[in-house]
Structure 1
Amino acid sequence: MFNLFRSQKQIVKILLGAILSLVAVSMVITMIPGSWGAAANANQNLLAEVGDPTLWWLANTHTLTVLDVQQAMPNTPNGPHAGLALETIDQELTKLVLMREAEELGLESNEQELADWLKVQMPFFFIDGVFQPDRYRVLIAQQFRTSIPRFEEEVRRSLMIDVKLRRMVVDTVEVDEEDIIELYRRANEKTRLRFVKIRANDFERQLAPKEEALREFYEERKQQYSIPESRDIKLMIVDATDLPAITVSEKEIARQHRQNRQRYQVDERIRASHILFMTEGKSDEEKKTLKEKAEFVKKDLQQGMDFATLAKEHSDDPGTAEKGGDLGWVTRGQMVPSFEKASFALTSGKISDVISTEYGYHIIKVHEKQGAHLQSLDEVRETIKQELIEERQYNARMQRIDNAIASARQAGKDFESVAASLDLGVKILAKVGRNDSPAILGEFETLTASLFAANDGEIVTATQNDRTAIAVVTTITPERPAEFQEARKRVRTQYIAQESKRLAEERANEVGTAATKEDLRKAARRFQLKTELSNFLRRQDSLPNLGSIGLLGDKAFTSVTGKSVGPVLSNDAWVIYEVIGHQEAEMEHFLDDRDEMSEKHKERLQEQEFDLYRRETQRRFEEAGRVRRYHSNIQRYVSTFSGRR
């Protein structure tokens, strides 16, 4: 990726070296050659491979490792658990299957496509069309929390699977007009309901469980209650911004300019402003009026009025109007042809006639004009100085972090001596739980997970912005079964929740049965309940405090008026209802919504088609022996989540 935008800056060379190192490490970890069996299975980080069963020995495979799964696993309120780990393994393995499929169909993504994608989707990596490697490195680390190679690999994988392969599969999907009409009818018909709701929490206050009942509940579910694993941790934080001031000499600045002359070569350019009278979406009559307005403004300029003032008052360009129409420096190729021709034909200080482009009418002023030239040292002195300072600051930060990590690895658990030599403090964190870790660990996104994957005495690091956490696990207290008194609070809460749900369901069935024999209002009063009335609602609307009306099922729109339905569970409440009114969809608005509905329906059909293709491809690869799961490694990895809920 960097090769496409490579500058001559030393920092880019450093970053390229770092990327190559990361790739090399990745190859050592994941691309271990050898046949199926002890040799391949020796790498406990390797969870699965996708490849050609006749060529395993070439290691020509796509691999899934523990690190891949850890980085792909989504954040959840309760943290990672065994079920989530297995689900993530399956999802990532499916991606590898589809990636292999795309490659074999000749749908590979190249460096240029990656570069084009970045230019369109992430223009903030570019300044005046020039790729900014420093910004790229920092933003990838900060915003995406991943390495550059992994980020680029994910983008390539997305281009191959979600763009090229998907397009091949779904481009033939067509939409039937009758389906769109039926979708519109269903989306816009309305119903009005009378209903009664019964919630479990209405019964909670009635429950006062006895100790014997709680003990019995505990004994029946004893295996569910445990005291989670905890760890004692020592932590020190290296702040890489606390560095001595860096100076750059005039000699060094001159040398940088002399050795990188091609960087400071600029094309012919102008510094210009414009006033735009936008005609997009306007009628011919409106366009005529706008041109007359432009001519009047041109006359005001000829009489000496200030260009910036008139631009602020009249320009329709939202990006430049408030700046007095200022476009800054522009070069050939950055503007539409008619605008470029008129602006580059002007001399400094001159104002154009009213010109026309596809955007509207423009009046252009050129403030300054420069031919193609090599920028002098005076022009770029401050830029070069800042670049050299930033490069040396980066090197110093990395050196400080590397030294701290190396010292910590050498010292092991004796963090105090290391911290003293580096003038840092050490935090002692006792009995840290996976899901109740101190706030300071949460400041580093992956730190807690890494600490709980580490062995006793193992050094773990995590970087967030300019701060690096260095930690060591000093004691591991394994998970153990919880005694009744230790689990009693949880047992009581779960017992009451279960019993209240049972009582609510029983009452809902009683009300539902009564409503089949008499009016719903009478049935509700029999159990001291109140009925409620809804407004006329569509399928996508919600009942107050109950959620989407769609949870009540299709009968909410198709049932005979006055006939009770239910009980139906809607979120956390049981609902018994009857339809008391129905309104058919107003088809006169169908044409207004048709295109949007057709597009959304087509997207749904395409998603279904691609999902079917995804599952069929996975099945085909599995049956052909092209997917290998290292079950012992998977089981070992998933077992690290044992007991987490």
Structure 2
Amino acid sequence: MWLRYLRYGPPVQGVDCIMTTLDRMRRHRGWLKWTLALAGFALLVLGFPLIQPQPETPGALTDVIAQVGDQEITIGEFRSVYLAQLNQYRAQSGGEITPEILQSMGIDRQLLQQMIDEYAALQEAERLGMVVTDAEIRERILSLPLFQQNGVFIGEEAYMQMLRVQQPPMTPADFEEQVRRSLMLERLQAAVTDWITVADEDLQKEHEARNERVRLSAISFRADDFREGIEATEDDVDALYAQNANDYLVPEKRRLQFVLIDVPALQDAFNPSVAEVQAYYDNNTGRYTQPTNLRTSHILLRTEGKDEAAVLAQAQELATQAREGADFAELARQYSEDEGTKEAGGDLGPIERGQMVPEFEGAAFALAQDEVSDPVSSMFGIHVIKATEKSGGESQTIDEVRESIVQLLKQESAQARAEALAQAMAAEITTPEEMTVAAQRRGLEAQESGFAGPGEPILGLGFSPEVTTQAFQLAEGEVAGPITTPTGPAFVTVTDVQDPYVPPLDEVEARVRDDVIRRKAFVAAQERANAVAAQLKEAEDFTAAAEADELTVNSSELIARGAAVPGVGLNASVEAMAFSMDAGETSDPVLTGNSAVILHVHERQEADPVDFAATRETLRDELMALRQNQFFVAYIEKAKTRLAIDIDMAAFAQAIAV
């Protein structure tokens, strides 16, 4: 049996089948071990899918966020994934991660996109005729380490109990649907990518690219340092404008009429009562409590096949001995039946909330430093627990956090009211006239912006890429909204369009003149760099010769590809030149856009062929996985073009309101 259970799903494949009690307490995985820094489908081979079967729920939870072909993603389905991710981050950060932080990082949108991709992949697998049989599902479940003890399936009763302790609890049908989807995704990825190989030549090149090192010096000649004294004549300006007039094209711009629901104004207008502040504090004490740092040891007595009353009596006797001064670690070594911890005196190491089964966790965190528990029964047996180290857990008083709660309640109230207003107005608005009427009915005013182009701030709304994007897709007479802006939800319509045009020279003369000077300065920098490079190639000591010419030399230690070159930074052209040179060689100037750079390699360290031989197959696996994942992502993107995909941003906003 195991002491540790998983909250969101089984561990990834490839874990040893025979796991100690401590191992099982430590393993904590999501359905996919979903890594947001990577493309979603790069991880399909690792475990279980994000999308989960959902029970029928009334009201808003069944509203559709996204339609993916013939499949729907509901608010309830998305929230189950989103809240699981949020709770996982909160547990890892001690409560510091908030929904606002997740949303500012774009994790909410990434999760939705991953669910869309997953639905698309499942439909692609079905289109290709792929099926997973009940026998295959059963075989996979029986092979999961989570459901094995000493390499043998734990039995139906324990299997059902493990599913019931999930948060939320799972039925066998739900779990088996998860397994079916996981197998379907694995099968699709294998079918699409199994042809991909990695040649030995590619392995050699990759090993060299990862392990070669150079120690170098760099001298940069920046164009800006050569601007002084350079002039742009009228002929220069006329010639550059005549040659590159389209470089000064003014793009299409649009004038908007908009109605803004000002969240900061709503926030200023609301003041929570003393009772509301107290209620929030009482309901969220964990937010104002330092995480408890707890290290525990335990003695586990198994009950399977034994007289449970006798085992309980033995556990009580051991607890009494420990309280009376007996060495707990020695008792654990002598009596504990947890083979993974008994030799360490029962030490489980630091534990966190959510790691243990509820019975164990509740008893452990209730203990004071060095306190020994009464016997605790769990699905694994009977435990005697000792808190060997404990700190933290102190709470801030309400007076210490009152102001932050007031601001939070003001923000939440304003946001909720803004969203309610936006949804009510959206139901009434289909034309610009209706937008004006709906605004006036609520004491809001339709405002006019100036002309703004893509990427430019909008007068009255500031920088709002989403507004700009939708505004440039609107036809005359259409209204878009509610659209999220930095200040609050907005509805917009286009009132005028300014077509793109090339302005006359007198409108852009200052820009053209500056471009002439910049170009001449860059030419001067190149000329100086060419002359210096020729001298330094003949010098016996690169650094001494450069410094004698009063040049700034930036030198490095041994660096690998991908490292910043001192005085230059990250630049692909400079890196390519540096790693193509022999030790003692000086380069011709390398142009980096605004500079000319001379490089000198002092030392070169080649990749070790012995290390390559030892790591060849590991490297092959890495490159294979990378290429397969890249191809699969591209394949699914193409598959999505065959599906109608529609996202309801209003429903999405509702789903992430926590």
Q: TM-score, normalised by structure 2?
A: 0.48
Q: TM-score, normalised by structure 1?
A: 0.49
